[in-house]
Amino acid sequence: MVDGSFASFGIVPAAGCSRRMGRPKLLMRWRDGTVIDAVLNAWRASRVDQVVVVVRPEDQALAAHCQRPGVHVLVPSESPAEMKISVQLAIAHLQERCQPSDTDAWLLAPADLPELSARLIDHVLAGYQPSAPRIVVPRVRDRRGHPVLFPWLLANELDQLGSDEGVSVLVKRHAPAEVDWQDDRMFADIDTPEDYRRLSGS
**What is the distance between the alpha carbons of residues 106 and 156, in angstroms, rounded to a whole number?**
12
SS3 105: strand
**Of 166, 156, 199, whose CA–CA distance to 29 is shortest?**
199
Range scoring the smallest mean pLDDT among 2-16, 25-39, 93-107, 168-182: 2-16
**Of 27, 29, 31, whose CA–CA distance to 14 is shortest?**
27
CA 72 to chain centre: 13
**What is the distance between the alpha carbons of residues 128 and 152, in angstroms, rounded to a whole number?**
12
Q: What pLDDT does 184 receive?
A: 78
CA angle at 59 for the pair 58 and 60, rounded to the nearest 5°? 95
CA 175 vs CA 68, 104, 137, 171: distances in Å: 36, 18, 10, 7
Which tens digit of pLDDT belongs to each residue from 70-80? 999 999 999 99
Which tens digit of pLDDT belongs to each residue from 133-158? 999 999 998 899 999 999 999 999 99
Q: In the 8-state DSSP scheme, what is residue 194?
A: H
Q: What pLDDT does 13 receive?
A: 96
Which tens digit of pLDDT belongs to each residue from 18-42? 777 767 789 999 988 999 999 999 9
Which tens digit of pLDDT belongs to each residue from 98-120? 999 999 999 999 999 999 999 99
Inform me whether the pLDDT recorded for 8 exceeds 80.
yes
Q: What pLDDT does 22 receive?
A: 67
Q: What pLDDT does 2 receive?
A: 58
Inform me whether the pLDDT recorded for 123 exceeds 90.
yes
| Angle, helix 118-126 to helix 35-45, in steps of 10 degrees | 40
Q: 161: pLDDT confidence band, cut at 50, 70 and 90?
A: very high
